[in-house]
């Protein structure tokens, strides 16, 4: 019940990492709505640590101080305005929910919303949480109270993740406070939650918390009885006792092996045929929230790994476009800012502020924002994914550095690694003239009566080809 997004058939979530609410509202209206994105995953909206001595890094927002909607991205009034304006154009909001822990030990002072706190005393009056709301020390088996051994389930769930004070999810009071936070934003019209660090929470505690959440707000356009959409951050690369399967009763799970497979496949196209690997323990399509990279592994946090990011340029375009053309999972795409070191926060005028996103005349972003979601081929493939939803992969073709396949009888996709490809292929599509999406119909494609077509790609930057039934220009 928690694994269904309510997006009128739209298929792609974009993570607008560290964007301000005012910019997200504008982006929904000017870009995400018209290009049929399902939803935006926003950075954690609750009150957080201000790590001024570390130069206001991005990760300060993963250290909660209260559930007041006062963060680096904006205040509650701005949050409400964003939710309303995005909902009005059919784009839903997904909140990044940090509820496994509060701030790190050793921290005290005042948070982004003005609440005082003292982590060593487990004192967070802005909620309020006190000593008894944190996991009892005797439930954590490690000698220093921290997580070291990921093969020990009690340690992973009852000890402190990188020194972050661990909330006691077994407590009725904690469950109530967390669900009040969730219900507050549900009342404001959000669609769902990315739950941070779910691996470090007991599935039963999550089930209890989620059981206390309201149905989605019908005033925001959700159907009556719709349950909030949940996806859980569980880093499962195999080899640990905690698996994504443990969380299927509480929603979807992040599938980190997908990004690894895409990186390997772009490197060697012969590996692209076996992206979903059940034998490897990957979540089945209807339980997976998949992505090429995320805000952690693009900067070496969360274990890093073999992944593609915007820094790989054309290879990244190929990886994301292939993923969007594929039938696996519910897709999230990353939208980043440029950085020189892995702690660096978003573009800023100083003092922990965040700069506005700049939109250039050609539709790309400036001011230090990457905006992968605005890269032409990626945006066009978001439209393709909507058009072919519900169909499966057919007419698979792969030879050297070229790959192509159809999605049922609704769409056909091809890509080549080095910018030039010409071949007659079976598209599985009805005969007719089609608009090639990446070129915005500059290229027209004829599908013959037998379903074959001449597939041509001549584009160094975006060597991608896509046609679909009923797809005009976008
Ligand atoms: C910061 C500092 C630390 C300091 C701490 C407390 O960097 O030095 O001790 O504050 O003061 C993010 C950053 C962290 C940051 C934290 C809080 O990445 O560096 O700590 O915010 O500000 C594990 C978890 C997984 C987690 C990754 C990062 O399982 O849940 O680690 N990912 C989420 C978010 C992160 C966020 C947090 C959780 C915390 O996406 O952005 O941290 O809210 C193997 C295991 C994985 C493990 C991985 C790395 O691969 O299988 O489970 O991931 O190793 O340890
Ligand atoms: Ca925990």
- The mean pLDDT of the chain is 97
Nearest CA owner, ligand 1 atom 7: 59
Is the minimum distance from the CB of 301 to ligand 1 under 6 angstroms?
Answer: yes
pLDDT at position 473 over 80:
no
Element (H, E) at 207: helix 203-211
Q: Is 320 helix (H, G, I), strand (E, B) or coil?
A: helix
Rg (CA), the chain: 22
Place 232 in a pLDDT band, splitting at 50, 70 and 90: very high
Q: Where are the alpha helices (DSSP H) in 288-422?
A: 314-325, 376-387
Residues 6+ apart with CB under 8 A from 279: none
Q: How far is the CA of 165 from the centre of ligand 2 (A)?
A: 9
User: Ligand 1, from 197, 254, 336: best to mutate by most atoms within 8 Å of Cβ?
Assistant: 197
Distance CA 345, CA 156 (A): 28
CA 182 to chain centre: 18
Beta-carbon count within 10 A of 103 CB? 24
Summarize the confidence of residues 154-158 as an average pLDDT.
99
User: Ligand 1, from 18, 56, 235, 238: best to mutate by most atoms within 8 Å of Cβ?
Assistant: 235
Instruction: Summarize pLDDT for 2-26 with one digit per residue, the tens.
Output: 999 999 999 999 999 999 999 999 9
Q: Is 421 helix (H, G, I), strand (E, B) or coil?
A: strand
Structure tokens at 165: 């004070």
Indicate which ligand has the atom closest to the C-alpha of 291.
1
DSSP annotation string for 237-285: -SSSS--GGGGGGGSEEEEHHHHHHHHHHHH-GGGGGG---GGGTPPPG
Nearest CA owner, ligand 1 atom 28: 302
Q: For position 23, what pLDDT does the model report?
A: 99
Location of structure tokens 């399509």: 285
Query: Annotated active-site positions, please?
Result: 196, 233
Distance CA 36, CA 469 (A): 16
Q: How far is the CA of 342 from the centre of ligand 1 (A)?
A: 12
Closest ligand 1 atom to the C-alpha of 107?
Answer: 11
Nearest CA owner, ligand 1 atom 38: 197
Nearest CA owner, ligand 1 atom 33: 197
Nearest CA owner, ligand 1 atom 9: 162
Contact at 8 Å (CB) between 250 and 230? yes
Residue among 306, 318, 305, 311 nearest 339 (CA): 311
Q: Is 419 helix (H, G, I), strand (E, B) or coil?
A: coil
Place 155 in a pLDDT band, splitting at 50, 70 and 90: very high
Residues 6+ apart with CB under 8 A from 362: none
Beta-carbon count within 10 A of 180 CB? 13
User: Ligand 1, from 296, 299, 344: best to mutate by most atoms within 8 Å of Cβ?
Assistant: 296
Q: For position 356, what pLDDT does the model report?
A: 98
Q: Give bridge partners of residue 444 from the DSSP assignment.
A: 435
Q: Is 82 helix (H, G, I), strand (E, B) or coil?
A: helix
Helix axes 172-188, 76-88, angle to 10 degrees: 50
Residue among 249, 214, 252, 255 nearest 231 (CA): 252
Distance CA 81, CA 277 (A): 42
Summarize the confidence of residues 60-79 as an average pLDDT.
99
Q: For position 474, what pLDDT does the model report?
A: 41
Rounded to two decimals, the pTM is 0.98
Q: How far is the CA of 327 from the centre of ligand 1 (A)?
A: 30
Instruction: Summarize pLDDT for 280-330 with one digit per residue, the tens.
Output: 999 999 999 999 999 999 999 977 679 999 999 999 999 999 999 999 999
Distance CA 1, CA 236 (A): 22
- What number of residues does the chain have? 474
């Amino acid at each position: 019940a928690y694994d269904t997004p309510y997006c009128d058939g739209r298929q792609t979530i974009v993570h607008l990492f560290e964007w301000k609410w005012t910019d997200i509202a504008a982006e929904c209206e000017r870009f995400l709505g018209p290009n049929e994105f399902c939803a935006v995953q926003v950075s954690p909206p609750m009150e957080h640590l201000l790590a001024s001595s570390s130069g206001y890094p991005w990760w300060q927002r993963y250290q909660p101080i209260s559930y007041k909607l006062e963060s680096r991205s904006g205040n509650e009034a701005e949050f409400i305005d964003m939710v309303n304006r995005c909902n009005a154009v059919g784009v839903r909001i997904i909140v990044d929910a940090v509820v496994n822990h509060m701030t790190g030990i050793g921290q005290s002072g005042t948070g982004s919303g003005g609440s005082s706190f003292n982590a060593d005393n487990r004192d967070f009056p802005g909620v309020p949480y006190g000593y008894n709301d944190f996991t009892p020390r005797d439930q954590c088996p490690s000698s220093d109270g921290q997580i070291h051994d990921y093969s020990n389930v009690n340690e992973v769930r009852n000890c402190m993740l990188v020194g972050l004070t661990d909330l006691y999810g077994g407590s009725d009071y904690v469950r109530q406070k967390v669900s009040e936070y969730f219900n507050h934003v549900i009342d404001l019209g959000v669609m769902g939650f990315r739950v941070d660090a779910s691996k470090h929470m007991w599935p039963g505690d999550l089930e209890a918390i989620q059981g206390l959440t309201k149905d989605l707000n019908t005033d925001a356009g959700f159907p009556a009885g719709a349950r909030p959409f949940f996806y859980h951050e569980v880093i499962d690369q195999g080899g640990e006792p905690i698996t994504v399967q443990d969380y299927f009763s509480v929603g979807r799970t992040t599938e980190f092996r997908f990004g690894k497979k895409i990186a390997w496949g772009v490197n060697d196209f012969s590996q692209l045929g076996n992206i979903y690997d059940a034998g490897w323990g990957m979540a089945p399509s209807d339980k997976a929230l998949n992505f090429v990279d995320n805000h952690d592994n693009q900067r070496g946090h969360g274990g890093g790994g073999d992944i593609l990011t915007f820094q790989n340029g054309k290879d990244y375009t190929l990886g994301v476009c292939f993923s969007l053309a594929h039938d696996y999972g519910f897709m999230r795409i990353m939208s980043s800012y440029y950085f020189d070191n892995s702690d660096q926060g978003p573009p800023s005028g100083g003092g922990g502020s965040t700069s506005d996103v700049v939109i250039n005349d050609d539709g790309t972003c400036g001011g230090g924002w990457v905006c992968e979601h605005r890269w032409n081929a990626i945006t066009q493939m978001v439209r393709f994914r909507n058009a072919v939803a519900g169909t499966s992969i057919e007419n698979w073709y792969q030879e050297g550095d070229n790959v192509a396949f159809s999605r049922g009888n609704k769409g056909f996709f091809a890509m080549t690694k080095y910018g030039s490809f010409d071949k007659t292929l079976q598209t599985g599509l009805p005969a007719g003239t089609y608009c090639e999406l990446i070129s915005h119909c500059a290229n027209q494609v004829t599908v013959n009566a037998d379903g074959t077509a001449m597939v041509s790609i001549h584009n160094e930057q975006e060597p991608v080809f896509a046609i679909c039934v009923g797809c005009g220009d976008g």
